[in-house]
Structure 1
Amino acid sequence: DQTYGSLAGVIVFLLWLWLTNLALLFGAELDAELERGRQLQAGIAAEETIQLPPRDTRTSDKAEKKHQKDVADGRELRESAGRSTSDDD
């Protein structure tokens, strides 16, 4: 009987987690649709996605800098036509 009680407790806990997750998900979805409706009424083009500013741009800025560096390195390699700068020849 103790084993069944423990298993039932685990199952009830997992069910509670699942229901809590659903409540949060539906709440976020409702909030997003209400925001989209407000934006459409204000004349903002939000038919497909909500138009909101990003919370934090540090990661995307860092990725853009890395991309620009990669492009510059590739351009430098292309312009050197693959010539090596080392004196190993």
Structure 2
Amino acid sequence: MPAPRKYPVELRERSVRLVMQMRREQPAEAHRAISMVAKRLDVHPATLRLWVNQADVDQGPIREHARGPARRTRNVSPSWNAKSVS
């Protein structure tokens, strides 16, 4: 049986929603959003940071980089990709 959750799902959803809202409404204070919401709702900042990061992943990319969409591939030399054929 899994361990009981320390924080209710509703608190998690509300916390993430508040952080996202603060980031949109106050871009200059975006770096402090997690600590401010965590303190207000009595949630550990590291826990809230994990929730927000997971929400970002679940929602997908929110905006593109100035030069276009982010690339998840890296430029690897052909010798690393080539399979040796014997």
Q: Give TM-score scaled by structure 2 length.
A: 0.28
Larger radius of gyration: 1
Of Structure 1 and Structure 2, the greater helix share is in 1
Q: Give TM-score scaled by structure 1 length.
A: 0.27
